[in-house]
Chain A
Amino acid sequence: MSDNTLPARLAEIRDEFLELDEPDRLQLLLEFSQELPAVPARYADHPELQERVAECQSPVYIVVTVDGDGLVAMHATAPAEAPTTRGFASILAQGLTGLTADEVLAVPDDFPQSIGLTRAVSPLRIAGMTGMLMRAKRQVRAKRAV
């Protein structure tokens, strides 16, 4: 992966993971899961604005917005009993929010494989995070075009 397309916040998150031993990476993922902010009330009441991430085994929904200045915000909901999924959503929500649409679209598709969790979490579970990233990008494309 070439670093020049990976936004600073995502690169920072990746490096935080890679600096740790595998068991500690799980702990860090748990911390991310606890930091997932609640979806703003205006979306919480409108499930139709949220997109289900079918790649995840737990019910997780994302909302991606692009504001008038072209800046992206990502929100997500996932149940407390699915901390792994919450952790993935939290990484992306923190890493993508505040970027421009172009920056989000330039995030390498293999970012989820690059943060050192494939073995600790398993490739199948990582696929859930890839699905989330793909869907976020698609929403950015659709919403930017409007």
Chain B
Amino acid sequence: MVRCPPYAALSAALTEEFSVTVEIDTTSPKFADYAEPGRLVTGEWLEQRLGRPGLVVVESDEDVLLYETGHIPGAVKVDWHTELNDPVVRDYVDGDGFARLLSSKGIARDDTVVIYGDKNNWWAAYALWVFSLFGHEDVRLLDGGRDKWIAEGRPVTTDKTVVEPTQYPVVDRDDSLLRAYKDDVLAHLGNPLIDVRSPEEYSGERTTAPAYPEEGALRAGHIPSAQSVPWGKAVAEDGGFKSREELDAIYRDGAGLKDGDKIVAYCRIGERSSHTWFVLKHLLGFDDVRNYDGSWTEWGSAVRVPIVSGTEPGEVPSR
């Protein structure tokens, strides 16, 4: 596979040092304002590069069959339920499993991976976060996801993508920097927490997203001191991410996040909070942002963890 070393230098200058195989998208003034402009691509940029060696397009959706109804030409599907999750333990696949999965999708370790999906990239962001746990460096989102691509009249096909399997190396998953477990969250109390669920879930009126099935949390409410910033606030009318200025107003001015903060985001099972994690980490440039994927389905059923109900964040309990 042909690599293009000159782009590495370009990328270091334009992004926060992730090495890339395919040059980053510099066509969008909106992206240029983000902390890591290279983490997003536009539909136009992607369409012009489909089929480029070193570029793999991945679709990741809530609906396991949506890809089959038509996908970006050459894209492969990664399903979070059946492929990224461990089938037995509530955890993600391990290094062996990830290597097998990515090899079967034709993804090499230094490939540029552009992920897109339905629901404003919820599941795409979730997949990107899981790829990041394995240190796959060059992962990006298609701004606006599947819907915007289709709305722009770009090509989709039901032709089967022919995959040439790769030998993806076995890399241990590193949860320490990007993922928070329940005990980490308990130790984190007193630092900023962002609850990205709906206002009704935050206040404790309900334990599931409106119109989503009950997934079994025994108590309702939120983690003490968590700020409520529903994930969708980061989405612009066109389905893409809002501008840097708008995002700063929401997360810095609104939720009070400051440079140097250690931040944990959570939702119900960690998927919506991956979307917010992406915004905080890659678009706004906060260094220390972790996603608590246990989220409410764990916290709301755990024994003797503190919970606040109502619309106020509440106090951090004394320990």
Contacts and interface: CB of A to CB of B under 8 A. Distances in A.
A120 to B, nearest CB: 7
Contact of A83 (B69, B87, B214): B69
B118 interface: yes
Given A54-B211, A59-B211, A85 B63 contact: yes
Interface residues of A, number: 27
B97 to A, nearest CB: 15
B213 A56 contact: yes
B63 A124 contact: no
B213 A26 contact: no
B69 A125 contact: no
B25 interface: no
Contacts of B66: 81-84
A46 interface: no
Contact of A120 (B82, B212, B213): B82
A34 to B, nearest CB: 9
A29 B62 contact: no
B69 A122 contact: no
Contacts of A87: 65
Given A119-B82, A120-B82, A122-B82, A128 B65 contact: no
Contacts, number: 55
24 contacts: A26-B65, A30-B65, A30-B68, A54-B213, A55-B213, A56-B213, A57-B213, A81-B63, A81-B66, A82-B63, A82-B66, A83-B66, A83-B68, A84-B63, A84-B65, A119-B82, A120-B64, A121-B82, A122-B64, A122-B82, A124-B215, A125-B64, A125-B81, A127-B213
Nearest to A80: B69
Given A85-B63, A124-B215, A131-B213, A26 B81 contact: no
A131 B66 CA distance: 21
Contacts of B212: 57
Interface in B120-139: none
Interface of A: 26-27, 29-30, 33, 54-59, 80-85, 87, 119-122, 124-125, 127-128, 131
Interface string B88-115: 0000000000000000000000000000
Contact of A81 (B64, B82, B118): B118
A109 to B, nearest CB: 17
B64 A26 contact: yes
Given A121-B82, A124-B81, A84 B211 contact: no
A30 B69 contact: yes
Nearest to A55: B213
B213 A128 contact: yes
A47 B212 CA distance: 19
Interface in B168-220: 211-215
